[in-house]
Structures are given as C-alpha cells and as structure tokens.
Amino acid sequence: MTRLMIALAALVLFCAQAMAQETTVQSVLQAHRETIEKGSRTSIGSAIDAIAASGLPQAQEVLQVWAAKEMWQRSDDGLFYRGTEKPARQVELFDFDTGQSFGTVSRDELSQIKPNSGVRAMIGTALVQFQLSDPDPTRRAEALDAIQRSPGADLLAPLRASIPAEPDTALKARKMRVERLLTIAFDPDEPSRIAAIEEMSGDLGVDMRATLNPLLVTRIALAEGLPETANIRREVKPGDPALGVAAAYDMLIAAGQAQPIPDNEARKALLIANMVDGQVAGVPVHRLDSQEARDAAYVQLAQAGLVPRWSTAEAPEVVVTRHRFVEVYSEPSAAVTEAAEQALAEIERRVGLNQAIDLGLDALSLASIYFLAAIGLAITFGVMGVINMAHGEFIMMGAYTGYMVQQVIADHTLSILVAIPLAFAVTFAAGVTMERLVIRHLYNRPLETLLATFGISIALQQLAKNIFGTQARPLTAPGWLDGAWVLNDVVSISYIRIAIFVLALIFLGLFLFIMRRTRLGLETRAVTQNPRMAASMGINPDRINMLTFGLGSGIAGIAGVAIGLFAKVTSELGSDYIVQSFMTVVVGGVGNIWGTLAGAAMIGTLQKGIEWLNPSNTLAAQTYMIIFIIIFIQFRPRGIIALKGRAAGD
C-alpha cells in the first residue's frame, strides 16, 4: 500500500513536469491571480499546490519570496515580480523566470502581496518538500524540525519520497524516525499504522509519547445514543474518580434523560422570588434559617405549582445508576488504540526504569553536595568534638571569595582555579583566628561553644549582608561546565553536578590521605583519642587542634565555591545547609569519615525519594526527612557507623 502511494505521488509529479514544459512561473501565477490577490486561507491552497507541483526550478524561490512578503504586483497589467525596496519609495523588480532586473519602479504603481500568518504557514508546509531534498544538510535538518513542530497528514508523502535519496546516514535515520511518527499519527492505512506503533514500541523519546497520547484521548459518554462502531475503552460507573455523580447527571440533562435539579442556591433564589408580605408559602421568613425549613417551604411552593418540581427522593445519585456510561476513544480504530495502549505501557515501563536511574543520579549529586558541606563539620565536630555553628558562614565566606575573584579575573576557568585555593586560605585563616580567640577557651564546655559560635555566625552573616547587600551575587561557572550530559530524553545530569561529585570524591581521598598517611593525621588521631597521652608523647595538642580546625574550615570554604556555582550567593547561603550538614554528621556517626559519607548518601537519597513521591512539594520532603531522622536516631543513637571500644571515647 505504501509503495502504491509513493508510486502515485511520483506519477503526479511526473505529470506536472510534463505539463510544465509549456508553462512559466508567471503563467502559473496568472492562472491563480485572483486567489493570490485575495490571500484568503480557505482558497489559497490551490494556488500554492499549483506552484509547488509545477515542477519549475524556480518554484521554491517563488514560494520563499511570497512568504517573505517580497512579491509585488504591477497594478496596470497584474503581473507578479520579486521586488526589493529601495529608498524614496522605489522598488527594484526582478522577473521570476529569468531573474533579470526590470529596474526600479515607484511604489505607487505596485501593490505588495502580504500573505497573513495562516497563509505563510501553508506556504511553509509546501516548501518542506523542497527543503527535504535541499543540497544543504542544515536546511534538511531544519525542515525536519519544522515537521516535528507542526506535524500534518500532508507532510507524510513528501517526507517518504525524500528518504531513499538521502545521502547523510544520520539525517536518514532521523527522517525514517519522523516518518514512523507521522505514519502512526496520520497514515490512513490501519495495518501500516499498527506496524509502525509496534516497531516504535519502547522508544523513550518525548516525541513518541506525544504522538501516542493523542491516539488515546478518551471522553466519557452516555452509552445510549453512541454509534455501534464506537471504540469503547471501558464502562464507567458514576462515582468513579473519572466521572463524578454531578458530571454524570449533567450528561443526562444534556441528553434529555433527566430534569435539571435546582441546587440549594437556585432554590434559595426561588424562595426569595416567591416571598409575599414577609412570608414564603405561609412560613415567616425569619424561620427559614435552616436547610430543613427551607426545603419544606420549597416543597409547599412546588405543590402550589409556583416553582419547578423537586423532591429529595429524585436525587442524582439514584437517577444516574439507571444509565450506562462508557469511556470512548476519539480514535475510531480499536486495533490502533490497542496497539497504542500496549506500546505506551511498554514505554512507561522503560521510562519508569530510566526515571529510577535519573533519580539515583540526582540523589547522588545531592548526596555529594551534602557531603561537601558536611565534611568540614565532620572534622571539627567529629574529630575535635567542637560544634561549630558558624560552619555555614564559612561556606558562605568561600562562596563570596569566589565571587570577589571573578570580579578581578574575568576568565571563568582561571578564576575558579584561583578561587579554590584562595577560598581555602581565607576560611583557614578565619577558622584559625576563631579557634585561637574563642573556641580554645571553651574546650570543655560544648554547649557554650555552640552558643558562642552561633554568636559569631549571626555577626558574620550580618557583616556579609552589610558588605554585599541582600541581593544574590552571581558566581558563574566556566563555559565548559554548562549544559548537561544527556543519555536519553529521561536521564540527564548537568556537568556542574558531575564536577561536584568529582570534587567530593577528591576530598574524600584527600581526607583519607591526610588522616592515614601524614604526620598531621597521625597526631590528630592521637589527640582525638587521648590528648594527655598525646601531649606526653611530644605532640602539641594546642597546635593540632588549631590546624585541624583550620583544615575543617578551609574545606568548608571550598565547598562554598562549589555550592555557589549552582546556588545563588547570598548571606543566607550557609544557613540553608547548616541543619542538613549537622544531620549528615549525626546520622552518619560522629568521628568517622565513612559515616559522614553514609549519612550524606542516606539523606540525599531520602530527600530525593520523598520528593519523587510528592514532587510538587520540596518543603514537605524536608519535613518528612527530618521526622524520619528523629525516628532513625531512636534505633541508632550513635549514627550509621558508630565507633566502638576505646575509640568511642566514653
């Protein structure tokens, strides 16, 4: 059947070519002169088709000129020309057939042909067949884009005709895919549609779903009065989520099977309308202050024949059960809808699978953000037992450092490379200063450390607000981090998130290296386990505490640069992450980097999981996550990975 169609199309083209031996563009245009002048969308089709099918080499140019409003008509003889506007109301005219210039003519002797947007769209459709076999591949790709934007039944034949001659393999594959989609949507031949649906089943593209969904559009109708051939999906009982009782009753009213029932408001209006001397049906108005009293008064009025009949017995709930309601496909062919349902089910299964992967990637990237934010805290809180409420402000400080560097160094890649060590240096210095001035004096008073660092936190936050203002400052990522790694229409992950994941991995490695392979790490572990013993072995606990605190703060600064790349840099940047960071450390287990990693993974996965269950509401996701954590602490009070034995410290 398909072949027959193509053969038919080729025949038409051939005939047109044969006829065109004697014709010129001008003669074709003159033949449809009146419709072109009129420019009406309903009648212009024949003119466009005649030009497109004329087989003349200039046909494409004529259509383009027409669509671009560059076609002019000479008023005295009615001939059409291509014209370009010149200064002083002059137009230079060119002949369509020969391309020769006629010289300039005053605008007063001409009239410009201005097709409206509907006509231009029709010309565009006609142009597609030329563009599909245009020698320039970008033009061909554009034509395919245009087809996908506004698919139509008339585009199917030119598209099919252009496939065999397509030299570019990638474009050819795309053309065949679009051809399948158009076949599903528009081919009048049922078996070929079903074949196309089955062939494309399992395709993850959004366009495939967009093609299938219109086939499966249904409406709910009254079973009586439907034609025998109707493509029924299922029977619907009123009260079903798809069909409310009120809607079903409205349908019955529209079909003339039921009487409209005046609702409470309508009956109230009727009562008011029938008020006589402060009484309704003999009942004083002031007694009508309950629904029962009003109903009784209405029944009285109805018996007197003053208002439409109504009684509580003829309730819509009862009436609708006497009728059958069915869900009907707008698509008449049952075989097509069945194939489409199956294909869509298969696609949805695959989409679900891919969404799970996508969710996993999202969770992973969120987990790496939390890990980055929490790793510095894990050092100060976990290793030193010092709770630093100003940790969030160190993150903010790092982000602002990145912003300041970008003000000086314009190149984004270079500025980020400079900003990372600089942010480390700035926050390291701030951390060491804070440790020396405040925290050192409070080592055995953890609750007061919490409060003192909180005081520093609000002071730093306000300071940032005073210096940088309340509006968000941009920290722009380098160009090569723009965009996303797209696997298919469902699974994608932005490069920034991948970069943050890599950064988190680097820091995990760095932390493990420092703690296990360096002198500082050894001494830190010694001081953590037993400060006095460590001191008697010649380690200076003061210095170690200072350096450890500086290290934790410095990492917070780098985390700030990373977070600033995708979040807006404001003075509240840090406080947005501080509670989650604490949760990460507490849930993971204090004093253990693997615990922090596990905590970040758990919180990230949990948050994304809850967001997936209730996608519209991130606030609710956070609420439920915190409640979950409070309950989780019940079962593992010391976190996922708890230190045991002497290392636990108590």
Partner 1 sequence: MRNSFVARHPSVLAFLALLALFTLGVSVLSEGFGIGLISTSFVKTLGKTLCLCLIAVAMDLIWGYCGILSLGHFAFFGLGGYMIGMWLMYERTRLIVEGSLAQGALPPTEQEVVDAIGTQIFGVVGSSDFPLVWAFADSLILQLAMVVLAPGLLALVFGWLAFRSRVTGVYLSILTQAMTLALALYLFQNDSGLRGNNGLSGLQNLPGVEAPQAVISLWFFWASALALGLGYLLAAWIVSGKFGSVIRGIRDNEARVRFLGYSVETYKLAVFTLTACIAGIAGALYYPQAGIVNPAEIAPIASIYLAVWVAIGGRGRLYGAVIGAAFVSLVSSWFTGGQIPDLVLGPLTIKWVDWWTIVLGLSFVLVTLFAPSGIGGLFDLWQGRRPPDRHGADLGPDAGALREREATE
* Rounded least distance, CB 280 to partner 1, Å: 8
The DSSP-derived string for 231-289 is -EEEEE-TTSTTS-HHHHHHHHHHTTSSPPPP-HHHHHHHHHHT-BTTEETTEEGGG--
Is 586 near partner 1 (CB under 8 A)?
yes
Query: Which residues are paired to 221 by β-bridges?
Result: 326
Is 637 near partner 1 (CB under 8 A)?
yes
* DSSP H or E run through 83: strand 80-86
Type of residue at 366: L
Is 156 near partner 1 (CB under 8 A)?
no
Confirm if 200 and 181 have CB atoms less than 8 A apart.
Answer: yes
Which one among 79, 296, 487, 633 touches partner 1, defined by CB under 8 A?
633
* Rounded least distance, CB 467 to partner 1, Å: 10
Stretch that binds partner 1, among 27-35, 62-70, 340-348, 625-633 (CB under 8 A): 625-633
For partner 1, the closer of residues 284 and 474 by Cβ is 284
For partner 1, the closer of residues 499 and 573 by Cβ is 573
Is 466 near partner 1 (CB under 8 A)?
yes
Is 186 near partner 1 (CB under 8 A)?
no
Stretch that binds partner 1, among 44-52, 214-222, 290-298, 526-534 (CB under 8 A): 290-298
Is 473 near partner 1 (CB under 8 A)?
no
Q: How many CB atoms are located within 10 Å of the residue 438 CB?
A: 15
Is 450 near partner 1 (CB under 8 A)?
yes
Binding mask 545-584 for partner 1 (x = CB under 8 A): ------------------------------x---x--xx-
Confirm if 427 and 397 have CB atoms less than 8 A apart.
Answer: yes
* Rounded least distance, CB 579 to partner 1, Å: 6
Contacts of 586 (CB under 8 A, 6+ apart): 599, 629, 633, 639
* Rounded least distance, CB 376 to partner 1, Å: 16
Stretch that binds partner 1, among 170-178, 287-295, 592-600, 601-609 (CB under 8 A): 287-295
Stretch that binds partner 1, among 142-150, 153-161, 309-317, 452-460 (CB under 8 A): 452-460
CA–centroid distance for 244 within its chain: 31
Sign for the pseudo-dihedral over CA of 208, 210, 214, 219: positive
Which one among 147, 452, 491, 499 touches partner 1, defined by CB under 8 A?
452
Is 457 near partner 1 (CB under 8 A)?
yes
Is 455 near partner 1 (CB under 8 A)?
yes
Calpha distance 102→584 (Å, rounded): 80
E strands within 107-242? 110-112, 218-222, 232-236
User: What burial class does residue 46 get, using C-beta atoms within 10 Å of its C-beta: 0-12 exposed, 13-18 middle, 19+ buried?
Assistant: exposed
Calpha distance 186→78 (Å, rounded): 40
HSE of 113 in the Cβ direction (CA atoms, 13 Å)? 32
Is 634 near partner 1 (CB under 8 A)?
yes
* Rounded least distance, CB 378 to partner 1, Å: 14
Contacts of 342 (CB under 8 A, 6+ apart): 201
Contacts of 406 (CB under 8 A, 6+ apart): 412, 415, 419, 475, 476
For partner 1, the closer of residues 117 and 290 by Cβ is 290
The site for partner 1, by CB under 8 A, has a size of 54
Which one among 444, 471, 519, 536 touches partner 1, defined by CB under 8 A?
444
Strand, coil or helix: 543: helix
Binding mask 382-401 for partner 1 (x = CB under 8 A): -----x--------------
Between the two ends of the chain, the Cα-to-Cα distance in Å is 84
Confirm if 334 and 189 have CB atoms less than 8 A apart.
Answer: no
Q: What length does the chain have?
A: 650
* Rounded least distance, CB 455 to partner 1, Å: 3
* Rounded least distance, CB 52 to partner 1, Å: 52
Which one among 456, 475, 555, 563 touches partner 1, defined by CB under 8 A?
456
What totals of helices (H) and strands (E) does the chain contain, helices first? 26, 12
For partner 1, the closer of residues 80 and 381 by Cβ is 381
Which one among 85, 109, 145, 448 touches partner 1, defined by CB under 8 A?
448
Is 1 near partner 1 (CB under 8 A)?
no
Q: Residue holding tokens 């709770």?
A: 387
Is 275 near partner 1 (CB under 8 A)?
yes
Please give the residue ranges that form the binding site for partner 1 (CB under 8 A).
268, 271-272, 275, 285-286, 288-291, 294, 387, 438, 441-442, 444-448, 450-452, 454-463, 465-466, 575, 579, 582-583, 586, 617, 619-620, 622-623, 626-627, 629-631, 633-635, 637
